Amino acid sequence: MIGAVIQARMNSSRLSGKIMLKVKSKSMLEHMILRVKHSKTIDKIIIATSKENSDDVIEKFCLEKQIDCYRGSENDVLERFYETAKKFSLDTIVRLTGDTPLIDPLVIDEVVNYYQNNDFDYVSNIFPLPRTYPDGYNVEVFSFNVLEKTHFNAKRPSDREHVTNFISMQPNLFSIGKVDHEKDISKFRLNLDYYEDYLLIEQVINRLYVEHQTFHLDDIIKFLEENPVVFDLNSKIKPYENILKSFEADKKLGYEPRKENFYINENS
């Protein structure tokens, strides 16, 4: 079974409650789920959230929308993913994050199909950097066996928080495949981390959303190219801020940077 596991929580130091912000009477999380449902490769969608009281609202949302939900550790997201995959007997995991409400089912299917048609431990449209897709379009695919190996071997706090660091930064241990866009469109930012991101996503949805239809990445890029004022709303935000902060936390605990630290190489 191929399961899309969407990590989501309400607490965020940058934009608290961001996944429940609404546009056109739907939360960001609902917009995302409606888009993921159009994927032809996903068998099941599961929201993986934490046991914190603040995330009760996410479980309530899932019950109302009849979406599977698992609640686990707030900070050990890797453990949360492992327990989710184990509970729902997933053979293949598609890792998505709740701060990507504009994710495209066509892109999900492209990455999943590439994984299925090749012999890689891990396939994404991110690694190795540089990326060609916009931030906010991250899709990662790997087997339960790889997830289990990662869960029992990853020790660094950044590896526990960011789920796939242990895999993606160690190509000597795992075979890694990458799906690139036909041209580099990474200058566009479609992630939801800051209020400026919400303002851009709000504009995109208000312009392109039609009930029971799915607009795609090409539609978004065309809209942003034709509306530079909207593009400029979040264009100054630096990528990878959160993960680079977690590397600093690793360093304080005595961990040395990995040789294959793609994020640091990208930002050096």
DSSP element (H, E) containing 5: strand 2-7
As a whole number, the mean pLDDT across the chain is 92
How many domains does one find in the chain? 1
Distances (CA, A) of 99 to 55, 126, 144, 210, 255: 15, 16, 23, 21, 28
Q: Computed from CA positions of residues 153, 82, 103, 106, in that sequence, does the dihedral angle turn out positive or negative?
A: positive
Please write the tens of the pLDDT for every residue from 147-167.
999 999 999 888 898 999 999
**pLDDT at residue 118 tops 80:** yes
Please write the tens of the pLDDT for every residue from 31-62.
999 999 999 999 999 999 999 999 999 999 99
**pLDDT at residue 104 tops 80:** yes
Residues 32/100, Cβ–Cβ less than 8 Å: yes
The residue type found at 24 is K
State both tokens at 130: 């540089």
What average pLDDT does range 9-22 have in this prediction? 91
Contacts for 171 with CB less than 8 Å, ≥ 6 apart: 128, 260
**pLDDT at residue 21 tops 90:** yes
DSSP element (H, E) containing 86: helix 77-87
Please report where in the chains the tokens 């660094």 appear, as a residue.
156
For the full predicted model, state whether its pTM sits above 0.85.
yes
What average pLDDT does range 134-140 have in this prediction? 97
Residues 68/88, Cβ–Cβ less than 8 Å: yes
pLDDT at 268: 39
Q: How far apart are CA 6 and CA 47, in angstroms?
A: 5
pLDDT at 239: 77
Q: How far apart are CA 116 and CA 114, in angstroms?
A: 5
Taking each helix axis as running N to C, give the angle between helix 56-65 and helix 28-36, from 0 to 180 degrees, rounded to the nearest 10: 40
What average pLDDT does range 105-109 have in this prediction? 98
The residue type found at 149 is K
Q: How far apart are CA 21 and CA 198, in angstroms?
A: 8
Secondary structure (3-state) at 124: strand
What average pLDDT does range 70-91 have in this prediction? 97
pLDDT at 93: 98
| Host domain of residue 161 | 2-267
What average pLDDT does range 169-185 have in this prediction? 94
Q: Name beta bridge partners: 48.
A: 7, 70
Note the Cα 175 to chain centre separation in Å: 20
What average pLDDT does range 8-29 have in this prediction? 93
CATH number at residue 74: 3.90.550.10
**pLDDT at residue 181 tops 70:** yes
